[in-house]
Chains A and B, each alone.
Chain A
């Protein structure tokens, strides 16, 4: 995360740099135990409020202009909620790392690295040759979809479902 923050500083994308700097500080603060407050229990939510929140957020993005204040407020409201949902104390022993899990982890990590490197080189070449049609980053490809309210609503739905899948607010354990 520190490397990503440095990368965004270098390309003078100050907001992205600030987000990753804050993220890095949060991780360091947790690692060094700077926060005294502990959340013993994992917070759980039933499906109804989560689905209502997704519906409400999709509606806001559907009816607002892209990059409008509504989007900013929505995103800023979601950040502390998401962080709160994952800030519980670790439960149980660390799961053992099997050969199978290691292989799986390396496979997915390789794919993620290929994606990041492809995106990075597309960004570098697009800037060097002033040609983002031949070297499009993911943002360039996705932008036309996000300009449409339907595209934004669907994209938000997918993004929030990924978040719900990661946080798993209704998981029992």
Chain B
């Protein structure tokens, strides 16, 4: 299976994200758990609005086009 350069990049980001997520669970003194990070950034209403807009746009972009 041959992947294009962007596909390798996306795959690399997904794998790195998975590693970070697992590290957050098994080594919370190295990297904070992902849930803690989300709770931290969702503390401010301004950030909450921005994140919800981006999340909603992803749905709009993928489901309505």
Contact = CB atoms under 8 A, between A and B. Distances in A.
Interface residues of A, number: 65
Contact of B7 (A19, A136, A165): A136
Contact of B6 (A1, A94, A136): A136
Top-8 shortest CB links A-B: A23-B53, A86-B48, A118-B9, A122-B6, A104-B32, A115-B13, A82-B52, A71-B63
B31 to A, nearest CB: 5
Nearest to B16: A111
Interface of B: 4-7, 9-10, 12-13, 16-17, 20, 24, 29-32, 34, 36-38, 40-46, 48-65
Given A78-B56, A87-B45, A16 B61 contact: yes
A100 B29 contact: yes
Nearest to B24: A104
Contact of B31 (A30, A104, A115, A156): A104
A134 B4 contact: yes
Nearest to B21: A108
Contact of B55 (A105, A141, A166): A166
Contacts of B30: 100
A92 B53 CA distance: 24
Contacts of A20: 53, 57
Contacts of A15: 60
A27 interface: yes
A64 to B, nearest CB: 10
Interface in A137-173: 137-139, 141-142, 146, 152, 155-156, 159, 162-163, 165-168
Given A71-B64, A86-B45, A90-B43, 11 more contacts: A26-B49, A85-B52, A86-B42, A86-B48, A88-B45, A104-B37, A105-B41, A107-B31, A108-B20, A122-B6, A137-B6
